[in-house]
Amino acid sequence: AVNSSGGARRTSLVTGANTGIGRVTATELARRGDRVILACRSEAKTRPVIREIVAETGNEAVEFLPLDLGDLKSARRAADSLNERGNPIDVLVANAGLAGQRGQTRQGFELAFGTNHMGHFAFVTGVLDLLRAGTDSRLVVVSSDAHYDAKGIDLGRVRGRTRTVTGLREYATSKLANVLFAQEVARRVPDEELWVGAVHPGVIATDVWRGVPRPARPALRKVLKMKPPAEGATTSLTCATSDVWADRSGGYFSENEPKDPSPVATPELAARLWDYSQEWLAGA
């Protein structure tokens, strides 16, 4: 298969691709001629988006993969189905996430940590061999500048229900986990096999905020100076498609510029988080 520019067709996968930044990212990758997999929880909400992407880009190689990041078994099933097919993945954008919600995941993790970190940990590590087999492979982990607000990760307290009223402290912790995860993958996989980056898209008006009460949303958008999703996808797309930061694998990129992550994001904490995550996944 060839893409619109005459090269071999690449396979790109975007989690949470039926709304917001993920949808824009998937659309632009399809426009580039990639075979694009939309890994999302709801098939009913994703099918119409796939039809719109196909109509908008003329690329019919767009498909749905069921993935519920709040359930580690679902993440494993999604990875297994891709491994059974055996097709290399050239770009994986770990985009899905939630903020400002409270609760816990199916396996009992705090909702933000369990969904934003553990779900992606299970899925991405499950398809790591397919990524390593890709051509000029990229892993883009969508984090947030909110990770600077986290003082660290208390690995003994990431199970159980959300403790704060807003859930934003837990969100910050989950986004720090995203940065640490990207750093650790970059340390474990040689640069020539996989380029890895964690990104802050900017403060974007997307479904990540769907837990915030509807009447409060306009005020929140104004206070946080939220930008539209089309602008938010820029950094993810640069990391997924450009060589501008080829020598910065494992780096953090904020609003399309390289940036130092939180000083809390140390190799030691990244390694501990990885080990704990593997143990939790094995016991799930």
How wide is the angle at C-alpha 40 spanned by C-alphas 105 and 7, nearest 5°? 140
Active site includes 252? no
CB 194 within 8 A of CB 139: yes
Q: Which among 235, 242, 135, 250 is positioned nearest to 185, based on CA atoms? A: 250
Spacing of C-alpha 60 from chain mean position: 24
Residue in 137, 139, 238, 126 with CA at minimum distance from that of residue 192: 137
Catalytic pick from 148, 171, 252, 276?
171
Contacts of 53 (CB under 8 A, 6+ apart): 23, 26, 27, 30, 36, 59, 62
Catalytic center residues: 171
